[in-house]
Amino acid sequence: MSSIDDLFQNLKANGQKAFMPFITAGDPDLGFSAEILKGLDATGCHMVELGIPYSDPIADGPVIQASYTRALNGGTKLKNIFAMCDSVAAEIKMPIVTMVSYAIIFRMGVDEYLQQAKAVGVAGAIVPDMPVDESAEFAAKCKAHDFSLIQLITPTTPRERAIEIAQQTTGFIYYVSIAGITGERTELPADLVDNLKWLRTQTDLPICVGFGISSPEHAEVLKPVCDGMIVGSAIVRRIAKAATEGASPEEVLADVSGFASTMLNAING
């Protein structure tokens, strides 16, 4: 089993849910990203989604788009991101999952990407621009490398297609809570809980919810019907203070860790 499979098995045995923050690699620089990863791990986060900056982000709202722009303008490259992952691999327990465009994987070469990612401790990938109809070959290669391919299901995904996506997914299903872009929300969609309950009847895979999750109140609503929660913009907005407001690394780390602790307490408290 992959480290992601092990994680969810252990969480289930202990009656817990996963908390998975998202950060952008290289925002504001890779040294800071390494410190954020270590801080999130020390706080008790279970897994982290590491965004690979891309010039044409898919479904990302303004907060994450801006973080990608800052990282790219700072010269962040995939090889340097992998080197950063390698530098922290021995110091953190939580699995790293990359959010990465297939264009980046294709440019490097599928086998090379999988080999390099595994070598530096990356456990899986979320590939938002890969339709399930075209994912069979890539999914097979991921399985051969014991590398989780996490695929997305949205509120507008037809149910037959949702079942097909679940069958091609390993690690966990990423359920997109809203039909739209990433970003903090004050309210969750009224039909979200019912959609998650239906999906739970169709698959044994863990189901994690992302997009718009940003408060302990959201966690209270969702924890009975999912296996984990992904929080992006609320984390990235705090990290952005280092680049846009002149906040010190120590201030940002304390802010991010404090928010992560609050969410962890809401999810598993």
| Residue 134 a catalytic site member | no
The whole-angstrom separation of Cα 211 and Cα 230 is 7
The strand pairing partners of 173, in sequence order, are 207
Active-site position among 60, 86, 184, 251: 60
Closest-CA residue to 198 (of 163, 170, 156, 228): 163
Identify the CA nearest to 173 among candidates 218, 108, 126: 126
Among 35, 49, 133, 134, the active-site one is 49
Q: Which residues lie closer than 8 Å to 237 by C-beta, 6 or more apart?
A: 63, 184
187 is catalytic: no
**The residue to which tokens 């969410």 are assigned:** 263
CA angle, 20 then 25 then 28, to 5°: 115
Residue 73 makes CB contacts below 8 A (sequence gap 6+) with: none
| Positions marked catalytic | 49, 60
